[in-house]
Amino acid sequence: MKKTTGQDRSITRNWRAATQAVRGGTWRSEHGETSEALYLTSGYTYDDAATVAARFAGEQDGMTYSRLQNPTVAMLEERIALMEGAEACRAQASGMAAMTAALLCQLSAGDHVVAGKAAFGSCRWLVDSLLPRFGIEATVIDGTVNAEWEAAIRPNTRVFFYETPANPTLELVDMTHVNGLARAHGITTVVDNAFCSPVIQRPMDFGADVVAYSATKFMDGQGRVLAGAVCGSAQFINDKLLPFHRNTGPNLAPFNAWVVLKGLETLELRLRQQSANALAVGRFLEGRVPRIMHPGLESHPAFALAQKQMSLPGAIFSFELDTREQAWALLDALELIDISNNIGDTRSLMCHPATTTHHNMGPEGRAAMGVTDGMLRLNVGLEDPLDLIEDLDRALAAAGL
Ligand SMILES: *Cc1c(COP(=O)(O)O)cnc(C)c1O
């Protein structure tokens, strides 16, 4: 097999983002296939005993077992690393597999983690429920307040973990400040970048150490497969993540990796259009609903920070009606936009976080995070925005607004 680019990564490094998205990591077999091949194999065979021994000894490059390496998965890992501007990347079975691996691979009993309180429900479960069971303490703070990060640091703090924009409140963390603070204290930052993807925001450009993904979201982007990825320095991936990953096995299946490779080819196009559509829909809603949290609208409390950190406003935003009854009435009256808790899809999807993604947190947990009973989260897809606005206009009227 040969890389179309040869083995010299300095060539691919110089390509611009759009080129990386279609070409980065491509690794062609002797057949010279144009599209990346799908290697559905768990194992590999060897010409002789010395070859397999050399591979196991780490003296020769090559595959030995698909929990350790797979060509299709390796192409995806290389492409994501190039798009992210990271030295290395390791694909994972899902976004939550990625978050779990990114944290557990580097933490031990007695360590301390500081996490932003506004986060995906399962990310909060890791911090609030899983880590303490293994003797890893966590302090949850308001990630939008820079001083709270500093105040939470202890001598044993090892990791800062946050997402920006956060799900579903769309609150932003000031990455330059928080990542810089972490660096100064020898703390590793782990950023969940699911809402943006490297097209909109590259946390490492703002000093992050580790970027973790649900590739289920925009990277696949068409609602097909679960996937995840962890990006970092070669040292972090080789010394921390790989031993954990290879021995615990949260592997991404080659087929799912192949689907995400296809998704990456159109990631930038989709995000440009979906961001434009989301801005049009957001501007319509701004005049109609009591409150909207949209990083592309000047009413967002961190609009200036969004302009600095995000190259596009993104496809996801939230808005609030006064009551749960109104929110449900709006959902039930939708004809085009689907009721779905997924995001990152080319279809417009809406959900009521308080009774779905953030149900398990309980009323106090939701109140502390700012997830109100009237909140709705909208993922804007590739439909004509005028059709989406008409659907919302009619559904808002049906909900009495
Ligand atoms: C969806 C999501 C996850 C989890 O990803 P899965 O692929 O569903 O496991 C983690 N963080 C954020 C911000 C998400 O939106």
Distance 319 CA to ligand 1 centre (A): 20
Distance 189 CA to ligand 1 centre (A): 18
Give the CATH number, domain containing residue 258.
3.40.640.10
Domain boundary among 265, 285, 313: 265
Q: Are residues 85 and 190 in the same domain?
A: yes
Smallest CA separation from ligand 1 atom 1, residue: 214
Distance 270 CA to ligand 1 centre (A): 19
Query: Mind listing the pLDDT tens digit for each residue in 307-331?
Result: 999 999 999 999 999 999 999 999 9
C-alpha span between 385 and 201 (Å, rounded): 24
Q: Please indicate, yes or no, if residue 369 is contained in any of the structural domains.
A: yes
C-alpha span between 168 and 319 (Å, rounded): 10
For range 363-379, the mean pLDDT = 95
282 pLDDT higher than 50: yes
Q: Are residues 170 and 317 in the same domain?
A: no
For range 336-358, the mean pLDDT = 96
Q: What share of the chain in percent tops pLDDT 90?
A: 93
Q: Are residues 82 and 225 in the same domain?
A: yes
Which of 373, 310, 361, 376 lies closest to 118, judged by CA?
Answer: 361
Contact by Cβ (8 Å): 153, 146: no
pLDDT of residue 8: 53
Test site for ligand 1: of 197, 211, 216, most ligand atoms within 8 A of the Cβ = 216
Domain boundary among 208, 239, 265: 265
Which of 202, 168, 154, 388 lies closest to 292, judged by CA?
Answer: 168
pLDDT of residue 17: 86
5 pLDDT higher than 70: no
Query: Mind listing the pLDDT tens digit for each residue in 213-260?
Result: 999 999 999 999 999 999 999 999 999 999 999 999 999 999 999 999
120 lines ligand 1 (CB under 6 A): yes
Give the CATH number, domain containing residue 364.
3.90.1150.10
Q: Are residues 260 and 271 in the same domain?
A: no
Closest approach atom of ligand 1 to CA 98: 9
Q: Please indicate, yes or no, if residue 393 is contained in any of the structural domains.
A: yes
Q: Are residues 277 and 232 in the same domain?
A: no
Q: What share of the chain in percent tops pLDDT 70?
A: 97
Q: Are residues 250 and 342 in the same domain?
A: no
For range 26-52, the mean pLDDT = 95
3-state secondary structure of 158: strand
Q: Please indicate, yes or no, if residue 52 is contained in any of the structural domains.
A: no
Domain boundary among 216, 247, 265: 265
For range 65-70, the mean pLDDT = 96
Q: Put the strands of the sheet holding 157-163 in their side by side order.
A: 88-92, 228-232, 210-214, 188-192, 157-163, 112-116, 137-141
169 lines ligand 1 (CB under 6 A): no
Distance 24 CA to ligand 1 centre (A): 24
Smallest CA separation from ligand 1 atom 6, residue: 95
| pLDDT band at residue 1 under the 50/70/90 scheme | low
174 lines ligand 1 (CB under 6 A): no
Distance 159 CA to ligand 1 centre (A): 19
pLDDT of residue 78: 96
| pLDDT band at residue 6 under the 50/70/90 scheme | very low
192 lines ligand 1 (CB under 6 A): yes
3-state secondary structure of 199: helix
Smallest CA separation from ligand 1 atom 2, residue: 214
Specify the number of domains making up the chain: 2
358 lines ligand 1 (CB under 6 A): no
Q: Please indicate, yes or no, if residue 27 is contained in any of the structural domains.
A: no
214 lines ligand 1 (CB under 6 A): yes
Q: Are residues 216 and 359 in the same domain?
A: no
Q: Please indicate, yes or no, if residue 210 is contained in any of the structural domains.
A: yes
For range 97-104, the mean pLDDT = 98
Q: Please indicate, yes or no, if residue 38 is contained in any of the structural domains.
A: no
3-state secondary structure of 12: helix
Cα 218 to Cα 34, 92, 195, 241, 342: the distances in Å are 24, 15, 8, 23, 11
Domain that holds residue 174: 69-265
Smallest CA separation from ligand 1 atom 7, residue: 95
Q: Please indicate, yes or no, if residue 190 is contained in any of the structural domains.
A: yes
Distance 99 CA to ligand 1 centre (A): 9
Q: Please indicate, yes or no, if residue 206 is contained in any of the structural domains.
A: yes
374 pLDDT higher than 60: yes
Q: Are residues 205 and 273 in the same domain?
A: no
C-alpha span between 203 and 163 (Å, rounded): 10
Q: Are residues 114 and 246 in the same domain?
A: yes
CB-based contacts of 198: which residues, under 8 Å, 6+ apart?
17, 80, 83, 84, 85
167 lines ligand 1 (CB under 6 A): yes
C-alpha span between 68 and 66 (Å, rounded): 5
For range 362-374, the mean pLDDT = 93
For range 342-368, the mean pLDDT = 94
Angle at 200 between CA 239 and CA 390, to 5 degrees: 140
Contact by Cβ (8 Å): 245, 23: no
- Longest alpha-carbon distance in the chain: 75
Q: Are residues 224 and 359 in the same domain?
A: no
Q: Are residues 372 and 246 in the same domain?
A: no
pTM exceeding the 0.85 threshold for the entire prediction: yes
What is the SS3 string spanning 64-127?
CECCCCCHHHHHHHHHHHHHHCCCEEEEECCHHHHHHHHHHCCCCCCCEEEEECCCCHHHHHHH
Smallest CA separation from ligand 1 atom 8, residue: 95
pLDDT of residue 361: 86
Distance 60 CA to ligand 1 centre (A): 36
Contact by Cβ (8 Å): 311, 200: yes
pLDDT of residue 14: 81
Distance 214 CA to ligand 1 centre (A): 5
Average pLDDT, the chain: 95
Q: Are residues 187 and 334 in the same domain?
A: no
CA 223 to chain centre: 14
CB-based contacts of 370: which residues, under 8 Å, 6+ apart?
118, 169, 171
254 lines ligand 1 (CB under 6 A): no
| pLDDT band at residue 9 under the 50/70/90 scheme | low
